[in-house]
Amino acid sequence: MPAIIVVGLQWGDEGKGKMIDILSQQAEFIVRSQGGHNAGHTLLTQGQEFKFHLIPSGILHAHTRCVIAGGTVIQPKALLEEINELQKRGVSVKDRLFISPSAHVIFPYHVLLDALLESLRGKEAIGTTQRGIGPCYTDASSRQGIRIAELIRPSALRRKLQTTLPHVNATLASFNKAPFSLEEIVAEYSGYGTKLSSFVAPAEEMIYDAIKQSRPVLFEGAHGTYLDITFGSYPFVTSSHTLAAGVACGAGVGPTRIDHTLGVLKAYTTRVGRGPLPTTLTSKEHALFLPPERAREVGTTTGRERRLGWFDAVLARHALGLSGVDSIALMKLDILDSLDSVKICTAYRLNKEKISLPPQTEEEWEEIEPVYEELPGWKKATSSIKKLKDLPKEARAYLDRIEELLKIPFSFVSLGPDREQTLVLHNPFCPHALSAS
Protein backbone atom coordinates (compact mmCIF):
# COMPACT_ATOMS: atom_id res chain seq x y z
CA MET A 1 0.00 0.00 0.00
CA PRO A 2 1.28 3.49 -0.79
CA ALA A 3 2.46 6.44 1.27
CA ILE A 4 0.52 9.53 0.19
CA ILE A 5 1.07 13.22 0.88
CA VAL A 6 -1.86 15.66 0.75
CA VAL A 7 -0.62 19.20 0.14
CA GLY A 8 -2.34 22.54 -0.41
CA LEU A 9 -1.51 24.38 -3.63
CA GLN A 10 -2.81 27.86 -2.80
CA TRP A 11 -2.76 29.91 0.45
CA GLY A 12 -4.24 27.25 2.70
CA ASP A 13 -7.93 26.56 3.38
CA GLU A 14 -8.15 24.59 0.13
CA GLY A 15 -10.15 21.71 1.61
CA LYS A 16 -7.31 19.40 2.65
CA GLY A 17 -9.23 18.30 5.74
CA LYS A 18 -12.02 16.80 3.68
CA MET A 19 -9.53 14.93 1.49
CA ILE A 20 -7.73 13.61 4.57
CA ASP A 21 -11.08 12.43 5.91
CA ILE A 22 -11.90 10.59 2.67
CA LEU A 23 -8.46 9.00 2.28
CA SER A 24 -8.36 8.06 5.97
CA GLN A 25 -10.91 5.38 5.22
CA GLN A 26 -8.07 3.35 3.67
CA ALA A 27 -5.10 4.71 5.69
CA GLU A 28 -3.75 3.10 8.83
CA PHE A 29 -1.44 5.95 9.88
CA ILE A 30 -2.19 9.66 9.45
CA VAL A 31 0.72 12.02 10.07
CA ARG A 32 0.82 15.77 10.75
CA SER A 33 4.40 16.99 10.40
CA GLN A 34 4.63 20.79 10.19
CA GLY A 35 3.03 23.93 11.53
CA GLY A 36 1.07 24.26 14.73
CA HIS A 37 -2.37 25.21 15.98
CA ASN A 38 -2.39 28.13 13.55
CA ALA A 39 -3.68 25.65 10.96
CA GLY A 40 -7.30 24.56 10.90
CA HIS A 41 -9.47 21.92 9.27
CA THR A 42 -13.27 21.90 9.46
CA LEU A 43 -15.03 18.63 8.68
CA LEU A 44 -18.72 17.93 8.30
CA THR A 45 -19.47 14.25 8.62
CA GLN A 46 -22.81 12.58 9.34
CA GLY A 47 -24.27 15.95 10.25
CA GLN A 48 -21.58 16.72 12.83
CA GLU A 49 -19.00 19.49 12.49
CA PHE A 50 -15.47 18.92 13.79
CA LYS A 51 -12.68 21.49 13.92
CA PHE A 52 -9.05 20.40 14.04
CA HIS A 53 -5.89 22.41 14.63
CA LEU A 54 -3.16 19.95 15.65
CA ILE A 55 -4.61 16.45 15.72
CA PRO A 56 -4.85 14.80 12.28
CA SER A 57 -8.48 14.81 11.19
CA GLY A 58 -8.20 11.10 10.38
CA ILE A 59 -8.71 10.47 14.11
CA LEU A 60 -12.46 10.32 13.34
CA HIS A 61 -11.89 6.90 11.75
CA ALA A 62 -11.66 4.33 14.55
CA HIS A 63 -9.12 2.11 12.77
CA THR A 64 -6.47 4.83 12.35
CA ARG A 65 -3.38 5.79 14.30
CA CYS A 66 -2.53 9.47 14.25
CA VAL A 67 0.94 10.95 14.62
CA ILE A 68 2.03 14.50 15.44
CA ALA A 69 5.59 14.38 14.13
CA GLY A 70 8.80 16.22 14.99
CA GLY A 71 8.44 19.05 12.49
CA THR A 72 5.43 20.50 14.31
CA VAL A 73 5.27 23.10 17.08
CA ILE A 74 2.85 22.27 19.89
CA GLN A 75 0.96 24.49 22.29
CA PRO A 76 0.24 21.90 25.02
CA LYS A 77 -2.88 23.54 26.43
CA ALA A 78 -4.44 23.83 22.96
CA LEU A 79 -3.60 20.20 22.20
CA LEU A 80 -5.10 18.99 25.48
CA GLU A 81 -8.27 21.00 24.78
CA GLU A 82 -8.52 19.35 21.37
CA ILE A 83 -8.04 15.89 22.92
CA ASN A 84 -10.67 16.58 25.59
CA GLU A 85 -13.18 17.89 23.04
CA LEU A 86 -12.82 14.73 20.94
CA GLN A 87 -13.21 12.49 23.97
CA LYS A 88 -16.33 14.38 25.08
CA ARG A 89 -17.81 13.70 21.64
CA GLY A 90 -17.06 9.99 21.85
CA VAL A 91 -13.86 9.88 19.76
CA SER A 92 -11.24 7.69 21.42
CA VAL A 93 -7.62 8.88 21.31
CA LYS A 94 -6.08 6.40 23.76
CA ASP A 95 -3.46 4.25 22.01
CA ARG A 96 -4.35 6.05 18.77
CA LEU A 97 -2.58 9.40 19.11
CA PHE A 98 1.22 9.59 19.21
CA ILE A 99 3.45 12.64 19.67
CA SER A 100 7.08 12.87 18.62
CA PRO A 101 9.50 13.86 21.41
CA SER A 102 11.29 16.01 18.79
CA ALA A 103 8.39 18.45 18.32
CA HIS A 104 9.01 21.91 19.77
CA VAL A 105 6.82 23.49 22.45
CA ILE A 106 5.10 26.89 22.27
CA PHE A 107 5.33 28.88 25.52
CA PRO A 108 3.43 32.02 26.64
CA TYR A 109 6.43 34.20 25.81
CA HIS A 110 6.28 33.02 22.19
CA VAL A 111 2.69 34.26 21.94
CA LEU A 112 3.55 37.61 23.52
CA LEU A 113 6.60 38.09 21.29
CA ASP A 114 4.48 37.25 18.24
CA ALA A 115 2.02 40.02 19.12
CA LEU A 116 4.76 42.54 19.97
CA LEU A 117 6.68 41.93 16.75
CA GLU A 118 3.49 42.20 14.71
CA SER A 119 2.61 45.50 16.38
CA LEU A 120 6.09 46.84 15.61
CA ARG A 121 5.46 46.31 11.90
CA GLY A 122 2.57 48.76 12.00
CA LYS A 123 1.07 49.14 8.53
CA GLU A 124 3.48 46.46 7.30
CA ALA A 125 2.03 43.84 9.66
CA ILE A 126 1.96 40.38 8.11
CA GLY A 127 -1.35 39.31 9.63
CA THR A 128 -0.10 36.34 11.66
CA THR A 129 -2.48 34.36 13.86
CA GLN A 130 -0.42 35.59 16.86
CA ARG A 131 -0.29 32.09 18.32
CA GLY A 132 3.47 32.03 18.83
CA ILE A 133 4.29 29.89 15.82
CA GLY A 134 7.01 32.10 14.31
CA PRO A 135 8.88 32.81 17.57
CA CYS A 136 8.79 29.11 18.44
CA TYR A 137 10.34 28.16 15.09
CA THR A 138 12.86 30.99 15.59
CA ASP A 139 13.92 29.43 18.91
CA ALA A 140 14.21 26.04 17.23
CA SER A 141 16.45 27.49 14.51
CA SER A 142 18.61 29.37 17.02
CA ARG A 143 19.01 26.18 19.06
CA GLN A 144 17.32 27.48 22.20
CA GLY A 145 13.96 25.78 21.73
CA ILE A 146 12.37 23.38 24.19
CA ARG A 147 10.94 20.15 22.87
CA ILE A 148 8.33 17.65 23.98
CA ALA A 149 11.23 15.47 25.19
CA GLU A 150 12.00 18.13 27.82
CA LEU A 151 8.37 19.01 28.53
CA ILE A 152 7.65 15.53 29.92
CA ARG A 153 10.75 15.59 32.16
CA PRO A 154 10.38 18.32 34.84
CA SER A 155 14.10 18.53 35.64
CA ALA A 156 14.99 18.91 31.95
CA LEU A 157 12.21 21.48 31.48
CA ARG A 158 13.52 23.55 34.39
CA ARG A 159 17.11 23.34 33.15
CA LYS A 160 16.17 24.48 29.64
CA LEU A 161 13.99 27.33 30.90
CA GLN A 162 16.76 28.52 33.22
CA THR A 163 18.89 29.03 30.10
CA THR A 164 16.17 30.43 27.83
CA LEU A 165 14.13 32.74 30.08
CA PRO A 166 16.88 35.31 30.80
CA HIS A 167 17.20 35.97 27.05
CA VAL A 168 13.42 36.15 26.67
CA ASN A 169 12.98 38.51 29.62
CA ALA A 170 15.79 40.76 28.39
CA THR A 171 13.95 41.09 25.07
CA LEU A 172 10.66 41.81 26.85
CA ALA A 173 12.33 44.50 28.95
CA SER A 174 13.10 46.41 25.75
CA PHE A 175 9.33 46.51 25.17
CA ASN A 176 8.72 47.58 28.80
CA LYS A 177 7.00 44.27 29.45
CA ALA A 178 7.10 42.38 32.75
CA PRO A 179 9.37 39.30 32.91
CA PHE A 180 8.01 35.77 32.94
CA SER A 181 8.38 33.78 36.15
CA LEU A 182 10.44 30.60 35.91
CA GLU A 183 8.49 28.93 38.71
CA GLU A 184 5.09 29.75 37.21
CA ILE A 185 6.00 28.40 33.78
CA VAL A 186 7.61 25.26 35.23
CA ALA A 187 4.52 24.59 37.37
CA GLU A 188 2.06 25.10 34.50
CA TYR A 189 4.02 23.29 31.82
CA SER A 190 5.09 20.37 34.03
CA GLY A 191 1.38 19.72 34.47
CA TYR A 192 0.88 19.69 30.71
CA GLY A 193 3.85 17.36 30.36
CA THR A 194 2.35 14.91 32.84
CA LYS A 195 -0.94 14.84 30.95
CA LEU A 196 0.71 14.43 27.54
CA SER A 197 3.42 11.95 28.53
CA SER A 198 1.30 8.88 27.75
CA PHE A 199 0.99 10.05 24.13
CA VAL A 200 4.73 10.53 23.54
CA ALA A 201 6.25 7.78 21.40
CA PRO A 202 9.06 7.20 18.87
CA ALA A 203 6.80 8.57 16.15
CA GLU A 204 9.30 8.68 13.31
CA GLU A 205 10.28 5.06 13.90
CA MET A 206 6.60 4.09 13.83
CA ILE A 207 6.16 5.83 10.49
CA TYR A 208 9.29 4.25 9.04
CA ASP A 209 8.23 0.77 10.15
CA ALA A 210 4.72 1.24 8.73
CA ILE A 211 6.08 2.25 5.31
CA LYS A 212 8.62 -0.57 5.37
CA GLN A 213 5.79 -3.03 6.03
CA SER A 214 3.72 -1.53 3.17
CA ARG A 215 0.98 -0.33 5.49
CA PRO A 216 -0.98 2.67 4.14
CA VAL A 217 0.34 5.98 5.50
CA LEU A 218 -1.24 9.37 4.84
CA PHE A 219 0.69 12.61 5.41
CA GLU A 220 -1.50 15.61 6.19
CA GLY A 221 0.03 18.85 4.93
CA ALA A 222 -0.88 22.07 6.72
CA HIS A 223 -1.31 25.55 5.21
CA GLY A 224 -0.57 25.89 1.47
CA THR A 225 2.21 26.30 -1.08
CA TYR A 226 2.21 30.09 -1.10
CA LEU A 227 2.57 30.22 2.68
CA ASP A 228 5.86 28.30 2.49
CA ILE A 229 8.68 30.10 4.32
CA THR A 230 10.97 29.84 1.27
CA PHE A 231 8.76 29.58 -1.82
CA GLY A 232 5.65 31.43 -0.67
CA SER A 233 4.56 35.05 -1.20
CA TYR A 234 7.29 36.24 1.17
CA PRO A 235 7.10 37.88 3.70
CA PHE A 236 3.37 37.09 3.93
CA VAL A 237 4.05 33.46 4.77
CA THR A 238 4.06 31.04 7.69
CA SER A 239 7.20 29.84 9.47
CA SER A 240 7.40 26.26 8.21
CA HIS A 241 7.96 24.44 4.93
CA THR A 242 4.54 23.67 3.47
CA LEU A 243 5.57 21.88 0.26
CA ALA A 244 5.44 18.09 -0.07
CA ALA A 245 9.18 17.90 0.66
CA GLY A 246 8.63 19.86 3.88
CA VAL A 247 5.85 17.51 4.93
CA ALA A 248 8.12 14.49 4.39
CA CYS A 249 11.09 16.13 6.13
CA GLY A 250 9.00 17.10 9.17
CA ALA A 251 7.92 13.48 9.49
CA GLY A 252 11.47 12.17 9.22
CA VAL A 253 10.68 10.38 5.96
CA GLY A 254 12.95 10.26 2.92
CA PRO A 255 11.39 11.55 -0.33
CA THR A 256 11.85 8.20 -2.11
CA ARG A 257 9.41 6.63 0.36
CA ILE A 258 6.49 8.71 -0.94
CA ASP A 259 4.38 7.02 -3.62
CA HIS A 260 1.83 9.71 -4.50
CA THR A 261 1.38 13.43 -3.87
CA LEU A 262 -2.18 14.73 -4.04
CA GLY A 263 -2.44 18.49 -4.57
CA VAL A 264 -5.58 20.23 -3.30
CA LEU A 265 -7.00 23.30 -5.06
CA LYS A 266 -10.18 25.28 -4.66
CA ALA A 267 -12.17 25.95 -7.83
CA TYR A 268 -11.38 29.61 -7.09
CA THR A 269 -8.78 31.25 -4.81
CA THR A 270 -8.85 32.55 -1.24
CA ARG A 271 -6.49 33.79 1.42
CA VAL A 272 -6.73 35.12 4.99
CA GLY A 273 -4.91 38.21 6.19
CA ARG A 274 -2.54 40.50 4.34
CA GLY A 275 -0.53 39.64 1.28
CA PRO A 276 -1.03 39.39 -2.47
CA LEU A 277 -4.09 37.87 -4.10
CA PRO A 278 -3.72 38.73 -7.81
CA THR A 279 -7.18 37.57 -8.89
CA THR A 280 -9.09 39.43 -6.15
CA LEU A 281 -12.75 39.87 -7.09
CA THR A 282 -14.06 43.33 -7.84
CA SER A 283 -16.76 44.59 -5.48
CA LYS A 284 -19.36 43.86 -8.17
CA GLU A 285 -18.07 40.29 -8.64
CA HIS A 286 -17.89 39.79 -4.88
CA ALA A 287 -21.57 40.66 -4.57
CA LEU A 288 -22.43 37.80 -6.95
CA PHE A 289 -20.69 35.19 -4.78
CA LEU A 290 -22.45 33.57 -1.87
CA PRO A 291 -22.01 35.37 1.49
CA PRO A 292 -18.86 34.13 3.31
CA GLU A 293 -20.88 32.10 5.84
CA ARG A 294 -22.82 30.22 3.18
CA ALA A 295 -19.72 29.82 1.03
CA ARG A 296 -17.93 28.44 4.10
CA GLU A 297 -15.20 31.06 3.74
CA VAL A 298 -14.60 31.97 7.37
CA GLY A 299 -11.24 30.87 8.81
CA THR A 300 -11.34 27.85 11.16
CA THR A 301 -8.49 29.23 13.26
CA THR A 302 -8.94 33.01 13.06
CA GLY A 303 -12.67 33.41 12.45
CA ARG A 304 -11.76 35.99 9.80
CA GLU A 305 -13.54 36.16 6.46
CA ARG A 306 -11.34 34.95 3.64
CA ARG A 307 -10.61 37.17 0.66
CA LEU A 308 -11.92 35.79 -2.63
CA GLY A 309 -10.35 35.59 -6.08
CA TRP A 310 -10.80 33.76 -9.37
CA PHE A 311 -8.94 30.53 -10.11
CA ASP A 312 -5.27 31.31 -10.70
CA ALA A 313 -3.70 28.81 -13.10
CA VAL A 314 -0.31 30.58 -12.91
CA LEU A 315 0.00 29.93 -9.19
CA ALA A 316 -1.47 26.44 -9.48
CA ARG A 317 0.92 25.40 -12.26
CA HIS A 318 3.96 26.59 -10.32
CA ALA A 319 2.75 24.91 -7.12
CA LEU A 320 2.36 21.58 -8.92
CA GLY A 321 6.04 21.62 -9.82
CA LEU A 322 7.22 22.72 -6.38
CA SER A 323 5.62 19.68 -4.75
CA GLY A 324 5.86 17.16 -7.60
CA VAL A 325 2.10 16.64 -7.59
CA ASP A 326 0.75 13.46 -9.21
CA SER A 327 -2.97 14.27 -9.18
CA ILE A 328 -5.38 16.99 -8.07
CA ALA A 329 -8.41 17.29 -5.82
CA LEU A 330 -10.52 20.26 -6.96
CA MET A 331 -12.70 21.53 -4.13
CA LYS A 332 -15.84 23.64 -3.73
CA LEU A 333 -16.96 23.64 -7.35
CA ASP A 334 -20.52 24.03 -6.00
CA ILE A 335 -19.75 27.55 -4.73
CA LEU A 336 -19.62 28.70 -8.36
CA ASP A 337 -23.07 27.26 -9.19
CA SER A 338 -24.93 30.58 -9.11
CA LEU A 339 -22.57 32.61 -11.32
CA ASP A 340 -23.37 33.74 -14.87
CA SER A 341 -19.72 33.36 -15.86
CA VAL A 342 -16.45 32.20 -14.32
CA LYS A 343 -12.89 33.37 -14.90
CA ILE A 344 -9.52 31.62 -15.01
CA CYS A 345 -6.28 33.57 -14.77
CA THR A 346 -3.93 32.10 -17.39
CA ALA A 347 -1.04 34.60 -17.17
CA TYR A 348 0.03 37.89 -15.58
CA ARG A 349 0.94 41.17 -17.21
CA LEU A 350 3.92 43.03 -15.73
CA ASN A 351 5.37 46.15 -17.36
CA LYS A 352 3.21 45.44 -20.44
CA GLU A 353 4.73 41.97 -20.84
CA LYS A 354 3.03 38.63 -20.23
CA ILE A 355 4.66 36.46 -17.57
CA SER A 356 3.81 32.90 -16.60
CA LEU A 357 5.51 32.63 -13.20
CA PRO A 358 4.70 34.21 -9.82
CA PRO A 359 6.63 37.40 -9.00
CA GLN A 360 9.44 37.52 -6.43
CA THR A 361 9.17 40.96 -4.82
CA GLU A 362 6.35 42.70 -2.97
CA GLU A 363 6.44 45.50 -5.54
CA GLU A 364 5.98 43.08 -8.45
CA TRP A 365 3.11 41.33 -6.66
CA GLU A 366 1.38 44.71 -6.38
CA GLU A 367 2.01 45.63 -10.02
CA ILE A 368 0.96 42.47 -11.84
CA GLU A 369 -2.38 42.32 -13.61
CA PRO A 370 -4.14 39.00 -14.22
CA VAL A 371 -4.91 37.91 -17.78
CA TYR A 372 -8.26 36.13 -17.80
CA GLU A 373 -10.23 33.67 -19.85
CA GLU A 374 -13.96 33.95 -19.20
CA LEU A 375 -16.19 30.89 -19.47
CA PRO A 376 -19.98 30.60 -19.20
CA GLY A 377 -21.41 29.62 -15.83
CA TRP A 378 -23.80 26.72 -15.37
CA LYS A 379 -26.48 28.24 -13.11
CA LYS A 380 -27.47 24.80 -11.80
CA ALA A 381 -26.98 23.12 -8.43
CA THR A 382 -24.25 20.48 -8.47
CA SER A 383 -24.15 19.40 -4.82
CA SER A 384 -26.23 16.24 -5.30
CA ILE A 385 -24.51 15.00 -8.49
CA LYS A 386 -22.83 11.59 -8.20
CA LYS A 387 -21.18 11.19 -11.61
CA LEU A 388 -18.82 13.47 -13.51
CA LYS A 389 -20.78 12.92 -16.72
CA ASP A 390 -23.90 14.31 -15.01
CA LEU A 391 -22.36 17.71 -14.31
CA PRO A 392 -23.71 20.59 -16.45
CA LYS A 393 -21.71 20.84 -19.66
CA GLU A 394 -20.44 24.29 -18.66
CA ALA A 395 -19.09 22.91 -15.38
CA ARG A 396 -17.42 20.09 -17.30
CA ALA A 397 -15.90 22.65 -19.67
CA TYR A 398 -14.54 24.59 -16.68
CA LEU A 399 -12.93 21.44 -15.25
CA ASP A 400 -11.57 20.43 -18.65
CA ARG A 401 -9.97 23.84 -19.17
CA ILE A 402 -8.29 23.77 -15.75
CA GLU A 403 -7.00 20.26 -16.38
CA GLU A 404 -5.74 21.34 -19.81
CA LEU A 405 -3.87 24.31 -18.33
CA LEU A 406 -2.34 22.33 -15.46
CA LYS A 407 -1.60 19.11 -17.37
CA ILE A 408 -2.23 17.03 -14.24
CA PRO A 409 -5.31 14.78 -13.88
CA PHE A 410 -8.07 15.19 -11.32
CA SER A 411 -8.50 12.44 -8.74
CA PHE A 412 -11.38 14.09 -6.85
CA VAL A 413 -13.95 16.84 -7.44
CA SER A 414 -15.75 18.14 -4.36
CA LEU A 415 -19.32 19.43 -4.62
CA GLY A 416 -20.08 20.21 -0.98
CA PRO A 417 -18.83 19.85 2.61
CA ASP A 418 -20.11 16.32 3.24
CA ARG A 419 -17.92 13.31 2.58
CA GLU A 420 -20.57 11.95 0.21
CA GLN A 421 -20.54 15.12 -1.92
CA THR A 422 -17.36 14.05 -3.70
CA LEU A 423 -16.72 12.63 -7.16
CA VAL A 424 -13.97 10.03 -6.79
CA LEU A 425 -12.28 9.66 -10.17
CA HIS A 426 -9.15 7.92 -8.94
CA ASN A 427 -8.32 6.99 -5.34
CA PRO A 428 -4.53 6.63 -5.00
CA PHE A 429 -5.05 4.16 -2.15
CA CYS A 430 -7.41 2.08 -4.32
CA PRO A 431 -6.21 2.54 -7.92
CA HIS A 432 -8.44 -0.22 -9.31
CA ALA A 433 -11.69 0.89 -7.64
CA LEU A 434 -14.67 2.02 -9.71
CA SER A 435 -14.68 5.74 -10.42
CA ALA A 436 -17.45 8.36 -10.51
CA SER A 437 -16.59 9.38 -14.06
* pLDDT at residue 305, rounded to an integer: 81
Give one word for 181, left, alpha or beta, with left for phi > 0 and alpha for psi -120 to 50: beta
Residue 13 annotated as catalytic: yes
Mean pLDDT by runs of 10 across the 437 residues of the chain is 93 92 94 88 74 89 96 97 93 96 98 88 73 93 96 98 96 95 98 98 96 96 95 93 97 95 97 91 84 67 80 98 98 95 97 93 94 97 95 98 98 93 92 64
Contact 217, 210 (CB under 8 A): yes
Q: Which residues, listed in sequence order, are joined to residue 42 by a DSSP beta bridge?
A: 51
> Which domains does the chain carry?
3-102+199-256 (3.40.440.10), 104-196 (1.10.300.10), 265-424 (3.90.170.10)
CA dist 202 and 85 (Å) reads: 25
- For the chain, helix, strand, coil in percent to 5 are 35, 20, 40
Residue 1: its pLDDT value, please?
A: 62
Q: Given this model, what pLDDT does residue 69 score?
A: 97
**C-alpha of 370 from chain center:** 25
* 3-class DSSP assignment, residue 358: coil
Kindly name the residue from 37, 41, 61, 104 that is annotated as catalytic.
41
33-52 confidence digits (pLDDT tens): 999 988 777 777 777 788 88
Instruction: Give the per-residue pLDDT at 403.
Output: 98
Task: Choose among 231, 212, 217, 240: nearest CA to 72.
Answer: 240
CA distance 27 to 61: 9
Which pLDDT belongs to residue 263?
98
CB 126 within 8 A of CB 81: no
Residue 294: how many other CB atoms lie within 10 Å: 9
Tell how many helices (H) and how many strands (E) occur in the chain.
13, 19
- Cis ω on the peptide bond leading into residue 235 (within 30° of 0)? yes
Quote the CA–CA distance of 302 and 309 in Å, as a whole number. Answer: 19
Q: What's residue 266's pLDDT?
A: 97
41 catalytically annotated: yes
- What letter does residue 122 receive in the DSSP assignment? G
CB contact at 8 A, 328 and 408: yes
List the catalytic residue out of 13, 21, 312, 334: 13
